[in-house]
Structure 1
Amino acid sequence: MAEQTFKLPDIGEGIAEAELADWLVKVGDVIREDDVICEVTTDKATVEIPASVGGRVTWLAGEPGTVLAIGGDLIRIETDGEAAPAAEQEAAAPDTPPAPEPAAPAAAAPQSAPVAQSARVAQAATVAPAAAPKRAARTAGPVTLGPTGKPLAAPSVRGRARDLGIDLRRVRGTGPAGRILHEDLEDYATHGDAPVRSTAFAPRDGTEEIRVTGIRRAIAERMALSKSRIPHFSIIEEVEVEALETLRASLNTQFGDSRGKLTLLPFLLRALSEAVRDHPAINATYDDEAGIVTRHAALHCGMATQTDSGLMVPVLRHVEAMTLWETAQEIRRLSEAARSRRAGPKDLSGSTLTVTSLGPLGAVATTPIINHPEVAIVGVNKMTVRPVWNGTEFVPRRMMNLSCSFDHRVVDGWDAAEFVAKLKRLLEVPAMLFMEWRDE
């Protein structure tokens, strides 16, 4: 038997450190080669780290939320073979000082490699009720699903459910927004699908402390940076989208089966690519430490996307060079990659202007926060049918508000108002999106 120490691998160009988002193994677990052992988070993406060998876990680098240097010690695994030569391990990772030795590794009962996972499942399922504090009651009701159609649960809960052989779609979550907690797995292992008493109107006591880590912490830091350094101002404009929706429905009827369905977003991005040609100050980034504004000829549009891990912003590159259907396909690809955590650093960096939308949950108006170091963001609000005066009578029209925020250090109010007015004209008369013309 030999114990090998494995280091945090290089997970992207220019990334020097990463935060431990979650461990999917614990000390004493027997793992196989290529099993996912943990998830780490950078300011650009969440990455799964697989095991390079199989064996028994003897040591972990730290708790979720710990920031590790690339090349620092990550995990120790006891294997049947001999330890790899030191030079070979150093070649697998950058020359970075190793993480300090912990004062006292977490105690764990040894577990031999031949023990099957089913034994662990049986052990967990037969734990006496007195082994864990009894919860007051479980809330009855349907299982809450996330935006991807999967039950809401942290990666560690998903990993434990896989070990126990539990289908999360059968477990009722009692955490915030119906999120499945470790306690819910224990309840399910003990009670199964037995009916439970509703506590909808019972008094609730207690608090829950949640450590802000991973993507959530990156979001918090970026939002704090944006609000503390960027003087925001917002313009909200009402847009009639009756003609645009008629055109979109016609295109989907004629080409939807062969080219895919079009949503509103490809038309909006097309309008943005036209509008920033006449208002280049909007499609810009501002290095406020160096005092330099960089205007971009290409429109690399960030698309704020809600995922189970939090808000991510994949980037559509060169929107100005795409057709409507190419834009729609790229939106679908990037959204799926972000939600399934397959989006890499390239997909999540380099945006010059961001679009955000609450989709069907949208509001009448919003005041979106600019994605630093950009200088503007465009928010799409809910489409509704409203009465509109046409000069002689009120008629029903599909209407939508655009909420745009700007960095007042770079963009003046008049220029922002002209930019929003240009967007409004392009969306209300969508034929203009396909004409070769420029404002004089």
Structure 2
Amino acid sequence: MQIKTPDIGVDKATVAEILVKVGDTIAVDDSIVLLESDKASVEVPSTVAGVVKSITVSEGDEVSEGAVLVEVESADAAVADEAPVPKAAQAVTAETVKAELVAEEKAPVTASASAQVVDVKVPDIGVEKALVGEILVQVGDEIAVDDSIVVVESDKATVEVPSTVAGTVESITVKEGDTVKEGVVLITVKTASAGNETTQPASRPTEQASAPVAEVKQEQPASAQAGSVDVTVPDLGVDKATVSEILVKVGDQVEKDQSLVVAESDKASVEVPSTVAGVVKAIHVELNQSVSQGAALVTVEAQGSAVAEKPQSAPAEKKSEPVVAKTAETQPAVKTDVSASAQTEKLSKEQQAENAKVYAGPAVRKLARELGVVLAQVKASGPHERLMKDDVFAYVKGRLTAPQATAVAATAPVASGLPSLPDFSAFGGGEVAPMTRLQQVSVPQLSLNNFIPQVTQFDLADITELEAWRGELKGKFKQDGISLTILAFIAKAVAFLLKEEPYFAGHLADDQKGVLLRNEIHMGIAVATPDGLTVPVLRNPDQKSIKQIAIELGELSKKARDKKLSPKDLQGANFTITSLGSIGGTAFTPLVNWPQVAILGISPATMQPVWNGEGFDPKLMLPLSLSYDHRVINGADAARFTNKLTKLLADIRNILL
């Protein structure tokens, strides 16, 4: 099987590193190639498990989406490739529906009387691979066509896979957690009339959706020339549906077959067309209202033309087929974003009005509402300037992959009106050296410090005894492959202290009238890399031993230097520790990382004379720099925090008390 370059948000990327070699045995999601562009560094994972047979790129090559990177021999893939996907499991398109309807007219289907076992396979769900999230049937269950049998999930979609035949579940060939792709057998179904049923699923969606149009038209007499006509809810195959969008308003001039209302259920999203040309006189429904078959939606005053004569009904039905086919095709992707819709802002009435003027199907409109996209701003690629789902995704991706413009817009007020650089040509000139990608994306975050009234509290901790104990332990730890640094002890001590002082791990509320106190401690640990500073997160250090913390610190540091940190590794921190290690310096003022309210800076420890009341003792003193948001933390509280921390570090046994 060929593993190709996925969509990484740019036209071209450079092969920076090849992570496998010919003959390697790899598993699903193992990284095979590292691609770099001016926007990102991305590790491309394997979509199958198997043996690397050939590598078709070299380091330094430029590749684009779809370029073959590696060929992997996989027994499972071979089986899946050889087994043809049943016609009923393919995505329904207008062309396949028409071809099958013509075939049915020419040659009646003869049903087989004998029982037959049919494989139900993974259809095209828009991604190369997905996980089986839930199995909805059991062996022996009686199922009908379109009954959901399995839920498959990917990072882009959650899709219920329907059965393409009716019958009895003979066997289930996958289990929850399995990775599957298009064409993989999910279940086998025993059916007594397989010959007839395997041809029905592809035509059924079109029949169900086109029938309502015909029914609405038949309600009007062919001889009617003018008058008020009520457009009603057609048969959607469900008892009730919800009015998700009203595409017209009173007074609008509408054409015959122009969409008036979008009705949605848990199974379909259908645009209800006007059965006549005329003027909208009344709208009988509101957004989010539940309606059932036969309920009046809109009243149209027909103007001077016959209402849907029988000879013209066939073209009208055919015209609706592409809409239905596209709805069926895009429905899984729309389902995916339902969970995200709660987090998106609803479009304003003005934006909804703009959307209503655009030629787009119901699935596309629903997707646009959930993503907060104004369809009028999206470039259409479909026939007759029809907007497609891919157009919406391309628009969103274009907005997301233009961070420079977004960062400039976001940080313009933060810059407080700084003027442009002066012209240095009279002084020898210069050239712009680009910052690393990591430095560039840090600019907007760091600029937020202009809004934080920040103060830094300095202190010194006597770690003489702690360092002696660490010296005794590190030899044993090293034998186990663990690097025991002083940072592990500091992280444990700070985590213990944050349980007593929760405000230092909190966040200033948006209304600035309260503090959000977190239930857990997740500590950011700053790590220096060749590309700049990055801050992976150490989870729940208060619940872990110093040995566990040391192990995880080593793993996070390695992932940071190898550019293998995932987005989740960088999220959720409510306190940060940054250390200069042995680089040098005596103290510094670290910047609070919003939305956190405190950060602890560690400078190199040095031997210093400390007065004991009678003389000076040599002590190893560790400089501490605690920066904090003065809106949340008072100076006295900060001084008390660092004082407690110095006592914990002077005798780590206090943690046990």
Do these two structures clear the TM 0.5 threshold for a shared fold by scoring above it? yes
SS at match of 1:222: helix
SS at match of 2:578: strand
Please tell me whether residue 348 in structure 1 is matched to residue 570 in structure 2: yes
Give 1:175's aligned residue. Answer: none
Please tell me whether residue 222 in structure 1 is matched to residue 450 in structure 2: no
For each residue in 1:395-419, what CA deviation from the matched residue of structure 2 results, as whole angstroms up to 9, or x when unmatched? 2211111001001111111111111
Moved more, 295-304 or 279-288: 279-288
Which of 98, 101, 104 lines up with 2:394 in the alignment?
Answer: 98
1-structure distance, mates of 2:57, 2:472: 59
SS at match of 1:361: coil
For each residue in 1:198-243, what CA deviation from the matched residue of structure 2 results, as whole angstroms up to 9, or x when unmatched? xxxxxx9662212346211111111111x12211100000111111
Give 1:48's aligned residue. Answer: 43
1-structure distance, mates of 2:502, 2:599: 14
- Structure 1 counterpart of 2:473, which letter? L
Which of 637, 642, 645 lines up with 1:423 in the alignment?
Answer: 645
Relative contact order: is structure 1 or structure 2 higher (C-alpha 8 Å, sep ≥ 6)? Answer: 1
Please tell me whether residue 336 in structure 1 is matched to residue 558 in structure 2: yes
Give 2:608's aligned residue. Answer: 386
1-structure distance, mates of 2:647, 2:441: 37
- Structure 2 counterpart of 1:98, which letter? A
Q: Which has the larger radius of gyration?
A: 2
Structure 1: give runs of 5+ residues left out of the alignment: 10-17, 27-31, 62-73, 80-84, 101-203
1-structure distance, mates of 2:583, 2:67: 47
Identity in percent: 30
For each residue in 1:158-182, what CA deviation from the matched residue of structure 2 results, as whole angstroms up to 9, or x when unmatched? xxxxxxxxxxxxxxxxxxxxxxxxx
- Structure 2 counterpart of 1:222, which letter? Q
Q: State the TM-score, normalized to the length of structure 1.
A: 0.58
Give 2:430's aligned residue. Answer: 207
Please tell me whether residue 8 in structure 1 is matched to residue 230 in structure 2: no
Show the 5 A alignment for 1:270-289.
270-288=492-510
SS at match of 1:244: helix
SS at match of 1:420: helix
2-structure distance, mates of 1:34, 1:244: 43
Moved more, 32-41 or 407-416: 32-41
RMSD: 3.9
For each residue in 1:99-158, what CA deviation from the matched residue of structure 2 results, as whole angstroms up to 9, or x when unmatched? 69xxxxxxxxxxxxxxxxxxxxxxxxxxxxxxxxxxxxxxxxxxxxxxxxxxxxxxxxxx
Give 2:473's aligned residue. Answer: 251
In the TM superposition, residue 350 of structure 1 has moved relative to its aligned partner by: 0.8
SS at match of 1:302: strand
- Structure 2 counterpart of 1:47, which letter? V
SS at match of 1:382: coil
SS at match of 1:346: helix
Q: Is the 8 A contact 1:259 1:325 kept in 2?
A: no
Q: Is the 8 A contact 2:525 2:538 kept in 1?
A: yes
Cα gap change, 1:37/1:294 in structure 2, threshold over 3 Å: closer, same or farther?
same
In the TM superposition, residue 248 of structure 1 has moved relative to its aligned partner by: 1.2
- Structure 1 counterpart of 2:629, which letter? D
SS at match of 1:91: coil
Show the 5 A alignment for 1:367-382.
367-382=589-604
Q: Is the 8 A contact 2:454 2:630 kept in 1?
A: yes
Cα gap change, 1:297/1:98 in structure 2, threshold over 3 Å: closer, same or farther?
closer
In the TM superposition, residue 97 of structure 1 has moved relative to its aligned partner by: 4.1
Give 1:38's aligned residue. Answer: 36
SS at match of 2:605: strand
2-structure distance, mates of 1:373, 1:21: 34
Q: Is the 8 A contact 1:40 1:47 kept in 2?
A: no
Which of 516, 529, 545 lines up with 1:294 in the alignment?
Answer: 516
2-structure distance, mates of 1:418, 1:299: 20
1-structure distance, mates of 2:647, 2:512: 36
2-structure distance, mates of 1:330, 1:401: 24
SS at match of 1:427: helix
SS at match of 1:422: helix
Q: Is the 8 A contact 2:505 2:598 kept in 1?
A: yes
2-structure distance, mates of 1:254, 1:34: 35
Give 1:24's aligned residue. Answer: 14
Q: Is the 8 A contact 1:298 1:319 kept in 2?
A: no
Show the 5 A alignment for 1:22-421.
23-24=13-14, 35-39=33-37, 46-49=41-44, 75=65, 91-92=126-127, 95=390, 96-98=392-394, 207-212=430-435, 214-225=437-448, 227-253=449-475, 256-258=478-480, 260-288=482-510, 293-421=515-643
- Structure 1 counterpart of 2:14, which letter? L
Structure 2: give runs of 5+ residues left out of the alignment: 17-21, 23-30, 48-54, 70-90, 94-122, 128-155, 157-388, 397-426
Q: Is the 8 A contact 2:522 2:575 kept in 1?
A: yes
Give 1:199's aligned residue. Answer: none
1-structure distance, mates of 2:438, 2:530: 10
Give 1:118's aligned residue. Answer: none
2-structure distance, mates of 1:212, 1:376: 27
SS at match of 1:360: coil
2-structure distance, mates of 1:273, 1:353: 9
Cα gap change, 1:318/1:41 in structure 2, threshold over 3 Å: closer, same or farther?
farther
In the TM superposition, residue 267 of structure 1 has moved relative to its aligned partner by: 0.8
SS at match of 2:502: coil
Cα gap change, 1:224/1:289 in structure 2, threshold over 3 Å: closer, same or farther?
farther
Cα gap change, 1:255/1:361 in structure 2, threshold over 3 Å: closer, same or farther?
closer
